Amino acid sequence: MKDRLIILLMGVAALALPALAQTTPSPLMLPPNVEKELAARASNVTEVTLGKNMLGFAAKFMNGKDQDEAATRQLIEGLDGIYVRDYEFDKPGQYSMVDLDKLRQYFQTPEWTPIVHETERKSGESTDVMMKTVNGESRGMFILSAEPKELSIVLILGPIRMDELSKLGGLGGLGALGNVANVTHGKDKDKAKKGGEQ
């Protein structure tokens, strides 16, 4: 009996070691190698990975004394993760339209719905926003912003609405989200306006 207990305990310990040694896979669901290829061509790369633990930690710094801060705290606590990749290039043409299409196609699944696709032919800038919905509820957002010399990819997992994006601007490195929210909000307004005129 004692021998069995010892074997069992040793077994548990032996099983615990590989479990502890496992690395967490990146939740940023990008096509394989795209991240590596873009990073190899970029002159500056910024990666932000905020998992649920870290978001919970960040939320604690918002004491929630005013209404805005309390709402932001609630929003952040509800999220499962925020993942940002920003690539800056020395000159235009360091990434191709094929790269962008690969990224867009990766999110063309029934769960993800494209809600904004904006392209400015003159400046060569484009913005894509896709929303993840599960049972009719928003469960995430993917933002792809491309400029000739900069490419930004943002993935937010968890319940979030478009109008809440600007609230995340207070978190380090996510200030640009406020601009995306304004762009998309403006577009929604335009669409609504056009719809009303018809």
Partner 1 sequence: MRPWLWIPLCLVALLIPVVVLAGGGEGAFDGVVRAIETRYHAQATRIPFMGLASVVAYNATHGGVDDVHVAEFEHFSGPVDGDELNRMVQEKLGQGWERMIRETSRKGYEQTLIFSHPEGRRMGLFVLDLDGRELDVVQVSVDPDHLNESIGRYQHHRDSDESD
Q: Is 47 in the site for partner 1 (CB under 8 A)?
A: yes
Residues 138-177 touching partner 1, rule: CB under 8 A, are: 172-173
Q: Is 2 in the site for partner 1 (CB under 8 A)?
A: yes
Residue 185 structure tokens: 């909000």
Shortest Å, Cβ 167 to partner 1: 18
Give the pairing type, strands 81-88 and 125-134: unpaired
Q: Is 53 in the site for partner 1 (CB under 8 A)?
A: yes
Among 27, 31, 33, 61, binds partner 1 (CB under 8 A): 61
Q: Is 34 in the site for partner 1 (CB under 8 A)?
A: no
Shortest Å, Cβ 92 to partner 1: 16
Give the pairing type, strands 150-157 and 81-88: antiparallel
Q: Which is nearer to partner 1, 76 or 131 (CB)?
A: 76
CA 109, 50, 143, 114 dihedral sign is positive
Q: Are 58 and 79 in contact (CB under 8 A)?
A: no
Residue 42 structure tokens: 């970029």
Shortest Å, Cβ 135 to partner 1: 30
Rounded-to-10 torsion of CA 182, 188, 189, 195: 170
Among 33, 46, 105, 182, binds partner 1 (CB under 8 A): 46
Q: Across-strand partners of 160?
A: none
To which residue do tokens 């494209």 refer? 114
To which residue do tokens 């957002």 refer? 141
- The Cα–Cα gap between 158 and 175 comes to 19
The window from 58-66, 114-122, 127-135, 160-168 that contacts partner 1 (CB under 8 A) reads 58-66
Could you give the residue ranges of the DSSP H alpha helices within 107-141?
Answer: none
Q: Is 18 in the site for partner 1 (CB under 8 A)?
A: no
Among 48, 71, 116, 176, binds partner 1 (CB under 8 A): 48
Binding site for partner 1 (CB under 8 A): 2-3, 5-6, 9-10, 12-13, 16-17, 20-21, 24, 42-51, 53-54, 57, 60-61, 63, 172-173
